[in-house]
Chain A
Amino acid sequence: MIIVALLLSISEVIGNFHPVLVHLPIGILLLAGLFQLLSLKPQFSSLHAATGIALFWGMISAIASCISGYLLSQSGDYDEELVNTHKWFGISTAFISLIAYLFNRWENVFAKWVILVMIPSIIVTGHLGGSLTHGSDYLTKGFSNNEASTAGEMKPIADVQEANVYADIIQPIFENKCYTCHNKRKRKGGLRLDEPSFILKGGKDGEVIKPGNAVESDMIKRILLPRNDEDHMPPKEKPQLRENEIEILHWWVSTGATFDKKTKELEQPEKIKPILLSLQKEVKKVMPDVPQAPVAEADEKAIRKLQERGIVVLPVGQNTNYLKANFVTVDSVTIDDIALLLEIKKQLVWLDLSGNEISDTILTYVSRLTNLTRLQLDHTLITDKGIASLESLVDLQYLNLVGTIITAKGILQLKSLPRLQAIYLYKTFINSAEWQMLKDNFPKVTLDTGGYSVPILETDTTVVTLPAKKN
């Protein structure tokens, strides 16, 4: 028995080497193909000798990959169908490479044709293997701009009480945090979470959920283990479950892990109610205020000139060329300063001009800094007339106009700015009667009117003393 177990564990270890080993035949056999191609030219004919060596080692490593790959597939962690295609392509590749090696050795004239067939076979096998580990969309992931899938946030639910608990609440959690390893394609630990029947069936070590008993359910137990524990799920380097998501899973399992019931049909303890309610709320998508597209480095000379003027110009982070600028210690901003900023307009995304004597004329220059996402114009001299020019700042998300003489009429001119998220309007010349009109005109923008006060309570200044011991 012990020997069998030992052999099994050895085979498992060898199997685990498969993802490393496979790179050898891919590299060596492709190199053999390259040598073969080059040696057709007279000046590289000496490479012909190398082709044989490359083919030999490529073949050996291809056979080793097949063996280790077979052992890995025995773990049952992967989709059988996909594994099968990959397996047969792999075996064919190894076989073709063997033929290629032998033909090459016998100086058979068909050798180069066999090598020609071998190359696409390697590529297809490699791609199939890649799809198994990284997902079938791994090649194209970079092209698609599907933000929702990367954000990993749940879509808001219209009415959580009417929602189907499994389909609308539980499945999205599994999809975001578990599917990468537990689905049709890849089934780590023999577990699939993409269908109700598989969820109930469990994995290699048996059931993962005991309906109605969350504490005894392996899934919940593992989720609650400390992140550093080897058995913790999801593995510590993968995206973790949020606390709310854990509470929801716990609640779902303890109410019987149903697949067809609505929220209102299940018992809801006090604790879960606010969490469920929060699923109805629209999660405000946080838009990055630094563009994703890379940009060339800014002109150093312009930056130096600005710095000599006392203007702080810095990258927003070491990992990007985008810049921010502020005038915190500059007494007066001149048109020349803004002209210098125009030289770095491609990179400049955050600009702070607060507290400076910015006139409408200067503002027309500022409006040419079209990559700005954040602009601070608070406590400046700008007017309604000048602010119209900001219409050109199509990427603007944050605009601070606190302490200016802007009126509602001025603000309305910015209605067309598509990305605006927040405008700060404390201490401006807007009548309180106009607020509602403004808010209707900017449905997606947070208009902060300010003017908050903290009431004066009697207790603010009274002191509790000994006789008043009982509060």
Chain B
Amino acid sequence: MTQQELNSKKIFEEAREAVLRQHTRRHFLKESAMGLGALALGSILGSCGRGSAKQVSTILYDPANPLAPRPPMFPGKAKSVIYLHMAGAPSQLELFDYKPELAKLDGQECPPSLMEGKKFAFIRGKASLLAPQAKFAQHGQSGLWISNYLPHFSTIADEVAIIKSMTTDQFNHAPAQLFMHTGSPRLGRPAIGAWVTYGLGTENQNLPGYVVLTSGGNDPDAGKSAWGSGFLPSVYQGVQCRSEGDPVLFINDPHGMDRDLRRASIDAINKINQHQHEEYKDPETLSRISQYEMAYKMQIAAPQVMNINDEPQYIHDMYGTKPGEVSFANNVLLARRLVEKGVRFVQLFDWGWDSHGTDPQTALDIGMINKCRKVDKAMTALILDLKQRGMLDETLVIWGGEFGRTPMQENRELVTAPFKGRDHHTDAFCIWMAGGGIRGGSTYGETDEIGYNVISGRTEPFDIQATILNQLGFDHEKFTYEFQGRPFRLTDVKGRVIEEILA
């Protein structure tokens, strides 16, 4: 054998080995298990008759077209969702939970019996109660209590339902945010928006079904996992868009590349991916192909919808928007535009609500007022604008944080904070919902006289999630995804639809 022959033989063997190496133990087990399973299933179904083998599973998603629109389990009241998350947790005691008794007890020591066995992020030992810093009044025909921190919002009291009895079991931002959005304080679960996109697909094939917008200078502590797809196919994760400059980085074709060339290159990439899929049958490859397709279509559609410059001046006045800046107001207006174009789930995060009182920015009577001023007008405008466009009854709007704040003033290492602030509190906070089949002007649940504990209508993140799914037409107990050998639910083993606030 010549050297050349030896070389080619060696290359041939290496190639063969490489192919064999692709067949890992995992592949072998998976394929043989599937094969045996399929054989068994075939014989079972054969004896039952084909007609009886009707699929019971609730969602059938097509990996080649994972975002195709699908019907919900039953006709839902809401078509889309706008979730406004105030990252850092706004103080319920300065906004919606009116506690005159707490004002009387200002400066007095919090009874140790209340704090015994509780974990706080910073408070240790004794702490004194802190009076509500805002002034409260009843608003609208329904007489909801709303503070003077939200002068605009209080004019639409009759449109919203306030849940005053929210609780959670996580006292740090990241896990609490994950719990709120994915149903688990740990990583790895899909966010509500991912579940919804998995269940409903998207009606507008030129835009993603699940868009995320952030403001306030930082992303939420939970990071991108708060809009991740977890164990769901990755195509269902939230698409984070920027409200300044290009909505998605590199969305424009580079200089010298025209639309035809872009098409040709995407076709070529898809062909290779198709080949790859035929070999390994990984559904994620199909998702990838469809994502390239969507990206191509989005290049035209996204810049159009994300451009708020073409809104008339009176809309900018209404929302308080200034085109070109990164702000909560701009994001809220974008959310309305996206929902109008058929996007299912728009998730907003506004950072900077962590009022510990360690500096003026986090003081309840300084920084928090400024935060309120930045969101009050825009969120009020959103509700009114959706209403006048005939969209409020089919758009569910949710506003809230990841936990509440203590009735006590924060102290760190027994030193009282220099400004008026409150620590993280898991036992009571408020969330409001509007539109999408929610009964306006209603409240649910109640806390004790100082707003420490819930005394009636205790609500958990699971209940909010169950309610969101219900309004979209899903039974949260039956809406599942098979993973690691068992069906998983957004609400795990809990959750109750809060019927009391439904119209």
Contact = CB atoms under 8 A, between A and B. Distances in A.
Interface in A162-194: none
B462 to A, nearest CB: 14
Nearest to A448: B388
Contacts of A378: 389-390
Interface in A292-322: 310, 312, 314-320, 322
Given A243-B444, A274-B143, A290 B75 contact: yes
B457 A243 contact: yes
Contacts of B444: 243
A317 B74 contact: yes
B369 to A, nearest CB: 5
Nearest to A226: B458
A471 B388 contact: no
Nearest to B441: A278
A290 B389 CA distance: 22
A466 B390 contact: no
Contacts of B390: 376, 378, 398, 400, 402, 422, 424, 426, 448
B341 A314 contact: no
Interface stretch (A83-91, A436-444, A457-465): A457-465
A464 B366 contact: yes
Interface string B383-399: 01101111001000000
A328 interface: yes
Contacts of A322: 75
Nearest to A243: B500
A242 interface: yes
B73 A456 contact: no
Interface stretch (B29-37, B199-207, B481-489): B199-207
A450 interface: yes
Nearest to A376: B390
B503 interface: yes
Contacts of B204: 328-329
Given A317-B473, A402-B389, A454 B74 contact: no
Given A318-B58, A328-B341, A422-B390, A465 B366 contact: yes
Contact of B73 (A274, A319, A328, A459): A319
Interface stretch (B64-72, B234-242, B250-258, B281-289): B64-72
Contacts of B456: 224, 243
Interface residues of A, number: 52
A326 interface: yes
B380 interface: yes
Nearest to A470: B365
A460 B360 contact: no
Contacts of B363: 469
Interface stretch (B111-119, B211-219, B222-230, B312-320): B312-320
B358 interface: no
A139 B456 CA distance: 39
B173 interface: no
A258 to B, nearest CB: 25
Nearest to A315: B71
Nearest to A450: B388
B203 A424 contact: no
Interface in A256-307: 274, 286, 289-290
A150 interface: no
A448 B385 CA distance: 11
A312 B366 contact: no
Interface in B68-90: 69-76
B373 A460 contact: yes
Contacts of B58: 318
Most interface-central of B71, B155, B381, B393 (chain A CB within 10 A): B71
B92 to A, nearest CB: 18
Contacts of A289: 75
Contacts of B370: 463-464
A290 B72 CA distance: 14
B273 interface: no
A274 B317 CA distance: 35
A461 B134 CA distance: 19
Given A452-B385, A453-B318, A318 B152 contact: no
Contact of B74 (A318, A326, A457, A469): A318
Contact of B342 (A242, A326, A466): A326
Nearest to B141: A281
Contacts of B496: 227
A451 interface: yes
Contacts of A426: 388-390
Interface in B133-180: 133-134, 142-143, 151-152, 155
A398 B393 CA distance: 10
Contacts of B134: 471
Most interface-central of B142, B314, B393 (chain A CB within 10 A): B393
A457 B151 contact: yes
Interface of B: 58, 69-76, 133-134, 142-143, 151-152, 155, 203-206, 314, 317-320, 341-342, 360, 363, 365-366, 369-370, 373, 376-377, 380-381, 384-385, 387-390, 393, 444, 456-457, 473, 496, 499-500, 503
Given A318-B71, A463-B373, A471-B365, 19 more contacts: A224-B456, A242-B499, A286-B503, A316-B71, A316-B75, A320-B74, A329-B205, A398-B390, A398-B393, A402-B390, A448-B390, A449-B388, A452-B384, A454-B155, A454-B319, A454-B377, A455-B152, A465-B366, A470-B365
Which 9 interchain pairs have the tightest Cβ spacing?
A450-B388, A424-B390, A452-B384, A400-B390, A317-B74, A316-B75, A426-B388, A315-B71, A317-B75
11 contacts: A243-B456, A317-B72, A328-B203, A378-B389, A448-B387, A450-B387, A456-B320, A460-B376, A463-B370, A464-B370, A469-B366
